[in-house]
Structure 1
Amino acid sequence: MSYLELSGLQKRFGNATAVDDVSLGVAKGESVALLGPSGCGKTTTLRMLAGLIDPDRGSIRVDGKDITGLPAHRRNMGYVFQSYALFPHLTVARNVAFGLEERRRAKAEIARQVEEALALVRLSGLGARKPRELSGGQQQRVALARALVIHPSVLLLDESLSNLDAKLRDAMRHEIRSIQRSLGITTLFVTHDQVEALTMCDRIAVMHRGRIAQIGTPEEIYEKPATRFVAEFVGRANALPAERTAEGKVRLWNEALGFAAPAKGAFDVFVRPQRMRILPLSEATGPDAVRVTGRVLRSVFVGDHVEVLVEGAGGQLTVEMPSGSPAPGEGQAVAVVWPVAESRVFARDAA
């Protein structure tokens, strides 16, 4: 049973359709990411949910109640903006208290709840400071505390980690996820960062051109992309141009593979580079493996892995080997192998 339900949402700006028939159900306590590139409609969807803009069509329900026509201040949504949107002239405590003051809560209650919210985000004792006296990570925590202190029915996060450096972003991902789980708060998280989506959310809705291309768990989205766009956008993948044999099988780099090709049209085979292995030409492979041959163009050390670029009859591909593994030398003839089950076939002209 969905606690938050978006049904057929649409939004146009002039002649451009930003959101096109988006429907999504989110269970109570679930964390769902809207993942996609800039301009795909994810932030517009979030802003419609928050009541900051009105949909042209469709409905929004929370706990069975239609809130589509309610103004933003009556929706009880906690919103963490990309820029944090803190009031620079107010103290941390007053920033956090803002939503409670707008609701005309008693001063003693406000003080108690602000203290609890700051403790939740590990900012106890910093209530008297101004935002400019805090680090970026601390400002992000203040924004989160301000969103949580009103006990929102839904927490909305809009690219809220994008202004942090890489190390702090990693730490905050785990911290926000821990807080979300401990509170059991229903959360919708907008991001273009696939790592954030994969690590912070129970499910991911990948958006493309105003529509949801695929909804699933992080494992489903990564391992079983439903469209070419999802396969290209989530994770790294080799897109290998392939041909169709007379028997209707896939031919790749002059090698006939043991699975069927699409009935018509040009197509590519997608394979994750970390699922590939490099073997000597003399080493045999089993019937459940795809095997192509080529020559090593170069190997590049990338910290936790080595990227090996191999060129063959059909072009180039990249294999990711664990750091510390002996990498083949430039110009060496090698076999590249991977399990048949790791191959995904998509039409070349599919979006």
Structure 2
Amino acid sequence: MSYLELSGLQKRYRDSVAVDDVSLSVEQGEAVALLGPSGCGKTTTLRMLAGLVDPDRGAIHLDGTEITRLPAHRRNMGYVFQSYALFPHLSVARNVGFGLEERGVNKAEIARQVTEALALVRLAGLDGRRPRELSGGQQQRVALARALVIRPAVLLLDESLSNLDAKLRDTMRHEIRSIQRSLGITTLFVTHDQVEALTMCDRIAVMNRGRIAQIGSPEDIYERPATRFVAEFVGRANALPATRNAEGHAVLWGQALPVKAPASGEFDLFVRPQRMRIVPVSEPVADGMARVTGRVLRSVFVGDHVEVLLEGAGGQLTIETQSGSAALPEGAEVAVIWQARDTLSFARETP
């Protein structure tokens, strides 16, 4: 049995199933993200783990002991809420030391541990301030220090970066990951942001409609999505309606590709925009490459890349090219090529 085991968890709210038969194994010291859209059940799963919500069915084991019905205060878990939930009338030191006070730790030991925790999150010297005197990033660090100071068996982060601006989010992603690794603390991180999941965790559990759609390493989830939902949700991808020819190859925009088509049923091809490359129509196609032709609808500068929207005989697709590459005029006829092995196929969804 793994250090942390979630087995067949289910939670209903009236006629709605929030979490449906979720099972997950987490090794000690591992960081795992619960990634998915709003309403997919990820926060409810985290709250069941924390003891804030009782599951209707299933079990939770921590280090070999079942904790399914154990009260939250006896689970030894540190929880960082989306809103941080700091006490506005208490100083930073009192906020961080609150959990230790509740556990009856003496004042001298609380002061020592609070000092260590604040140094860990780079807030040394700010112990006397109130939350309102801190920036958003500093408040987030206080909440993290409060969760870590009790030396929890598991650290739970619930959308804890969503209130920060983009630049600060990027900084905090790396800081939290560094702290998690240095402490070797088992961590579950709830997020709807795929970049956070891909950069902060050892594995990702992608959730959809109360269930786990796929569990794997960041590379597995991105490069080898197991379902259409995962392919669409993680990263950007062109979903291109295709057909099959008599030889069993996929046909896109009237052009046969060196891509094997599913044996039956309607299907779409999925290709990442950054895996595609624009070339002159006259350029011959090499072995192992897929190719279609179309007309440029527009090019949009997006900082580190340019998004090119192309229209062909069967629809549209987006290509991401490097910034600084030659501008493409609207209406230009071009070819798009990509490695055939970068093509995925999934059954077409019916409306």
**What TM-score bracket applies, with the shorter chain setting the length?**
over 0.9
Cα distance between partner residues in 1 of 2:259 and 2:340: 8
Aligned residues: 351
**How far is the alpha carbon of 1:258 from its aligned partner?**
2.0
Structure 2 residue identity aligned to 1:331: G
Report 1:152-301 matches (<5 A): 152-301=152-301
TM normalised by structure 2 equals: 0.99
Maintained 8 Å contact 1:3/1:27: yes
Q: 1:116 matched to which residue of 2?
A: 116
Maintained 8 Å contact 2:259/2:343: no
Cα distance between partner residues in 2 of 1:233 and 1:120: 34
Cα distance between partner residues in 1 of 2:350 and 2:158: 29
Q: 1:92 matched to which residue of 2?
A: 92
Q: 2:102 matched to which residue of 1?
A: 102
Q: Secondary structure in 2 aligned to 1:144?
A: helix
Q: Cα deviations across residues 152-189 of structure 1 (Å, max 9, x unaligned)?
A: 00000000000001111110000000000000000000
Cα distance between partner residues in 1 of 2:7 and 2:205: 14
**How far is the alpha carbon of 1:198 from its aligned partner?**
0.4
Cα distance between partner residues in 1 of 2:248 and 2:132: 65
Q: Cα deviations across residues 282-310 of structure 1 (Å, max 9, x unaligned)?
A: 11121200000011111110000000111
Q: Cα deviations across residues 173-218 of structure 1 (Å, max 9, x unaligned)?
A: 0000000000000000000000000000000000000000000111
Cα distance between partner residues in 2 of 1:140 and 1:221: 28
**How far is the alpha carbon of 1:350 from its aligned partner?**
7.7
Q: Cα deviations across residues 42-65 of structure 1 (Å, max 9, x unaligned)?
A: 000000000001001111111111
Cα distance between partner residues in 2 of 1:39 and 1:205: 15
Cα distance between partner residues in 1 of 2:301 and 2:125: 45
Gaps of 5+ in 2: none
Q: Secondary structure in 1 aligned to 2:61?
A: strand
Aligned Cα root-mean-square deviation (Å): 1.0
Q: Secondary structure in 2 aligned to 1:282?
A: coil
Q: 1:83 matched to which residue of 2?
A: 83
Higher mean C-alpha deviation, range 239-248 or range 63-72: 239-248
Cα distance between partner residues in 2 of 1:336 and 1:350: 28
Cα distance between partner residues in 2 of 1:321 and 1:256: 24
Maintained 8 Å contact 1:4/1:25: yes
The answer on 1:15 being equivalent to 2:15 is: yes
Structure 2 residue identity aligned to 1:234: V
Maintained 8 Å contact 1:270/1:343: yes
Q: 1:151 matched to which residue of 2?
A: 151
**How far is the alpha carbon of 1:111 from its aligned partner?**
0.7
Q: Secondary structure in 1 aligned to 2:243?
A: strand
Q: 2:343 matched to which residue of 1?
A: 343
TM normalised by structure 1 equals: 0.99
Structure 1 ranges of 4+ moved more than 4 A: none
| % same residue | 79
Gaps of 5+ in 1: none
Maintained 8 Å contact 1:228/1:350: no
Structure 1 residue identity aligned to 2:86: L
Structure 1 residue identity aligned to 2:58: G
Structure 1 residue identity aligned to 2:31: S
